[in-house]
A and B are shown apart, each in its own frame.
Chain A
Amino acid sequence: MKINKIILSFVSAVAILLSSSVVSFAKVVGDKIVLGAAISLTGKYSSNGVHTQNGYNMAVDRINSMGGVKVGGKTYKFEIIYYDDESNPKRAAQLAERLISQDGVEFMLGPYSSGLTKAIAPVTEKYGVPMVEANGASRSLFTKGYKYLFAVLAPANLYLDVAIRTAVELNGGKGVRIAQAFEQDAFSQDVRLGILDAAKETGSEIIIDDKLPKELNDMAATLVKVKQMKPDVLVVSGHTKGALTAIRQIAEMKVDVPMLAMTHCDAAKLSKQHGKNSQYALCASQWHKTLTYKDNFFKDGMTYAADFQKEFGYDPPYQSAESSAALLVFKDAFERANSFDQKKVRDALAATNMQTFYGNIKFAPGGQNVDKPMVLFQVMCDGAGKCENKVVAPLKWASAKLIHPIPKWSDR
């Protein structure tokens, strides 16, 4: 009995100590600026969640080691409190509440994916907590009039817009016939809206418009239709499983289409998993290491990629690069605001106009970054079967010439 009592009092003492220390540990304490982030470390988004976290950590270490953030003549260091949102929007919203009201966090970094950002944004908005997010591209995030949400990435509707415009241009300015298949989630449906807009503007016609389920692992039906109707462009967006399934079945069914445009190719490690079968696929990307944007912290894309490789042992996907950029934006905003007042920081964020290794950053009133175009890369393989992603559009950044139309399977 006595032992039980002792254990009980010990546990409650520890609990009280912990709860008090959590409150005092938060916000801006001593020389630390504490940011909060709910990240998918388990569940279906966990691999991209980890890419996001690695991107954040890399930038925190870099900024801290290069002098930190100077506000009011004092230097501060970044620190991030992470929670695992289990890839679950409800959990993410709860954790945002917890970060703000219990841990006292006053500035937030975004989670991974549009769906989770959508769940968190109303919470940060309610408390007036500025959030810089790097992985929620859905257009609907930027039409709700949020004042405290800033996204360093280009909105989803622009992902494959470039592909359609390029196809039309190669077709002598005449409209093209488009076949498209999109997963039914917020992000992919936004990509679809972007294609619809581009098709309307260029006088293109959409001849197949399929929706893919979440449990997608077979899109033979769509591809049979593509074989029959012979469109000029096939557009697929269904996260990594969409990209992998499409390439596997296009190769197996020998579907010939002059242009194939997709999203999530680098997250799917397309060229690694499919080798030569993935050749000629066009992929939308927020960033590529060969882009020549520059900043003082990471220098440029190639240096960032090399440093990242050294620290984490793999080539950085764009999800990591954009996450690192989010920290650079915060640092810049704190220094210009020269204060930790949330309103002032928010206004400074809204006035951001800077270049990072990841791209130019300037926010529209809705919070999306309007100063950074999407890039398209094409998977290109050499004779030995080694494949590489090379930027082909926009022309300004192109490191290789677009191969169009895709050679027929019978000629490969």
Chain B
Amino acid sequence: MDFMVFQYPMITIQACLDGILLGVLFALIAYGMALQWGVMNIINIAQGDLVILGGYIAYFMYLYGIHPAWGVIVSPIIMYFVGVGIYKLVINKVVDRDLFISILATFGISILFMQLMNFAFGADVVLANSGYGTTFLFDSNVVLPNSKIFSAVVSIVFAICLVIYMKKSKLGRAIRATAQNARAAKILGVDTEKVYAATFGINAALCGVAGALISITFTIHPYMGLPYTIRSFMIVIVAGLGNLPGVAMSGMGLGVFEEFADYILGTEFRIGSVFLLLVLILVYRRFKLSRKREYLK
């Protein structure tokens, strides 16, 4: 245990800012998960692998001399079609089934994706350099890489666009209607099959954006997806489905929590502390539920 983070106010500020910038990115991935979980009742274990695949798209653009920031535009477009493809091949066969079946199916997709990416791109750790420089605050006691700020801003922009799209567009309304009651929506003429495909596509596109941002700010590797799945799962669990402000808040909360855990417990417990928090929250929820004597369907 090391409480250095509280002894120097500058480190506290640094940790909070790092956490918030990171958390916004997590929230974007989690929003995709919440969306398709809410609409299709599918927990997508391959979420993190879609993120990494999106990252590779930006990386390859970078390799061919295109600035990786363009990946933020290109990657979601490609990933949308990847998402729709996965839906047509696998997900539409498990969408009305038990939650457990969908977890198994997406777990399978996750393993397949990891191996395919490993074959296609190699097992090397790679990154795309944005060359964005650094912002110094408080007499350069707090440093923020501009790539992190860029990724947070882009995440927020995409999230806002999506919210507006869901509220105003026809497809957005159809998605929301399907989430509320798929059968009723079908009776009223909504093509739920199309809605499901689009939802999965949108989720994959969001993962694509996040992946491009991760390749700019951190590193990518075919086997690095799972921590992102776990984090978004955790954020969605805390926030609840269909609660967008909740997803944003719990995303940032998780980011800050991770940063502080990193300083206090040590970097090695960073991901471990997320798991621990997840368990604690699930236990707490269970406890609250049993007191209310309600059952979660």
Contacts and interface: CB of A to CB of B under 8 A. Distances in A.
B147 to A, nearest CB: 7
A181 interface: yes
B164 interface: no
Contact of B268 (A42, A45, A212, A277): A212
Interface string B103-140: 00000000000010011001111110100001010001
Contacts of A216: 267
Chain B, interface size category, equals 35 or more
Interface stretch (B30-38, B178-186, B203-211, B221-229): B221-229
Interface stretch (A101-109, A238-246, A382-390): A238-246
Contact of A215 (B22, B224, B259, B263): B224
Contact of A244 (B115, B127, B270): B127
Nearest to A210: B267
A211 B267 contact: yes
A47 B129 CA distance: 22
Query: Top 4 A-B pairs ranked by shortest CB distance?
Result: A252-B145, A211-B268, A217-B218, A241-B125
A215 B271 contact: yes
A252 B134 contact: yes
A213 B134 contact: no
B119 to A, nearest CB: 7
Contacts of A217: 214, 218-219, 224
Contacts of A48: 123
B266 interface: yes
Contacts of A221: 15, 259, 262-263, 267
23 contacts: A43-B123, A45-B123, A47-B122, A47-B124, A48-B123, A210-B266, A210-B268, A219-B267, A220-B14, A220-B18, A220-B259, A221-B15, A221-B259, A221-B267, A224-B15, A228-B8, A228-B11, A239-B125, A240-B124, A248-B127, A253-B145, A254-B136, A254-B143
A184 interface: yes
B90 interface: no
B4 interface: yes
Given A213-B268, A221-B259, A221-B267, A241 B11 contact: no
A254 B221 contact: no
A268 B127 CA distance: 11
Interface of B: 4, 8, 11, 14-15, 18, 22, 115, 118-119, 122-127, 129, 134, 136, 140, 143, 145, 147, 214, 218-219, 221-224, 226-227, 259, 262-263, 266-272
Nearest to B126: A273
A27 B201 CA distance: 55
B123 A213 contact: no
Contacts of B259: 220-221
Contacts of A218: 22, 218, 270
A274 interface: yes
A216 B272 CA distance: 12
Contact of B221 (A87, A211, A213, A241): A241
B143 A253 contact: yes
A241 B268 contact: no
A207 B53 CA distance: 39
Given A47-B124, A248-B218, 10 more contacts: A44-B221, A87-B123, A218-B270, A224-B14, A244-B125, A248-B129, A254-B140, A268-B124, A273-B129, A277-B129
A274 B129 contact: yes
B123 A224 contact: no
A355 interface: no
A115 to B, nearest CB: 15
A184 B268 CA distance: 8
Given A47-B123, A221-B267, A224-B14, A253 B134 contact: yes
Interface in A201-229: 210-213, 215-222, 224-225, 227-228
Interface of A: 42-48, 87, 181, 184, 210-213, 215-222, 224-225, 227-228, 239-241, 244-245, 248-249, 252-254, 268-269, 273-275, 277
Contacts of B127: 244, 248, 273
Contacts of B266: 210-211
B125 A240 contact: yes
A217 B11 CA distance: 20
Contacts of B269: 213
Contacts of A45: 123
Task: Count chain A CB atoms within 10 A of each CB in B4, B123, B127 and give the residue with the most.
Answer: B123
Contacts of B145: 249, 252-253
B224 A42 contact: no
Given A228-B8, A248-B127, A44 B223 contact: yes
Contacts of A273: 126-127, 129
A273 to B, nearest CB: 7
B126 to A, nearest CB: 7
A189 B136 CA distance: 34
Contacts of B15: 221, 224
Task: Count chain B CB atoms within 10 A of each CB in A47, A215, A248 and give the residue with the most.
Answer: A215
A60 to B, nearest CB: 24
A175 B145 CA distance: 33
B139 to A, nearest CB: 13
A44 B272 CA distance: 21
A106 to B, nearest CB: 31
Given A211-B266, A218-B218, A43 B8 contact: no
Nearest to A264: B125
A344 to B, nearest CB: 39
A47 B127 CA distance: 16
A34 to B, nearest CB: 28
Contact of B267 (A212, A244, A253): A212
Contacts of B129: 248, 273-275, 277
A248 B219 contact: yes
A245 B118 CA distance: 20
A213 B271 contact: yes
A355 B134 CA distance: 49
B115 to A, nearest CB: 7
Nearest to A410: B140
Nearest to A274: B129
B134 A254 contact: yes
A228 B14 CA distance: 12
A45 B222 CA distance: 11
A253 B118 CA distance: 31
Nearest to A248: B127
A131 to B, nearest CB: 24
